[in-house]
Amino acid sequence: GAVSDSDPTGLTGLLPNGGGFRYYSVAASVPRKGPEDYRLTVDGLVDRPATYTLDALRKLPQTRMVRDVQCVTGWRVPETPFEGVRLSRILDAAGVRPDAKAVRFTCFDGTYSESLTMEQARRPDVLVALRMRDRPVEHAHGGPVRLYVAPMYFYKSAKWLSGISVTPDVRPG
């Protein structure tokens, strides 16, 4: 598949660039947020809009999965553990309305956004991730909370996640 085709040597993951990851941010600088000031809002076409603190997210059931990370530009990082709350759980808690068709994600870098169809968003391998590589998600990797969309290219995994909005249609990021 695309993963092996992009690096037939399999050596990309051995390059000394921080465990194989490239640092990506469309914003020049991003504020740091922690337990005191981090908030995740859930709104849009839902019956129960909500705001989660970091502590509230940590108290929900956590799911860990280990998959390869793959960027559209060709680099990949094999078998990277991510852990967090299933997005489907957060959507269920909010009570998605029947006319909702998509989910839009916003970030506290003030710029980046992404979206998924409702069907993609409800997959069990889509997480609101609090941990990456078995440590809290670092600031550079989108901490304290990033989206993790295991089955899709890594650009879908929005860093510095601050908003989840249920929408009537897909809004390209």
For residue 84, which of 139, 129, 144 has the smallest C-alpha distance?
A: 129
Q: Which of residues 29-88 bind ligand MTE (CB under 6 A)?
A: 71
Question: Interface with ligand MTE includes 22 (CB under 6 A)?
Answer: yes
DSSP state of 75: -
Question: Interface with ligand MTE includes 24 (CB under 6 A)?
Answer: yes
* 130 close to 60: Cβ distance less than 8 angstroms: no
For the residues of 40-71, what is the DSSP string, one character each?
EEEEESBSS-EEE-HHHHHHS--EEEEEEEE-
Least CB distance from residue 83 to Mo ion, whole Å?
21
Question: Which one of 157, 164, 165, 166 is in contact with ligand MTE (CB under 6 A)?
Answer: 157
Sheet (strand 113-117) strand order:
50-52, 40-44, 161-167, 102-107, 113-117
Question: Which one of 60, 65, 71, 93 is in contact with Mo ion (CB under 5 A)?
Answer: 71
E-assigned strands of 87-144?
102-107, 113-117, 126-132, 135-136
Q: Which of residues 115-134 bind ligand MTE (CB under 6 A)?
A: none
* Residue whose CB is less far from ligand MTE, 71 or 118: 71
Least CB distance from residue 141 to ligand MTE, whole Å?
4
Give the binding site for ligand MTE (CB under 6 A): 21-26, 71, 107, 109, 112, 141-142, 154-155, 157-160
Give the binding site for Mo ion (CB under 5 A): 71, 154-155
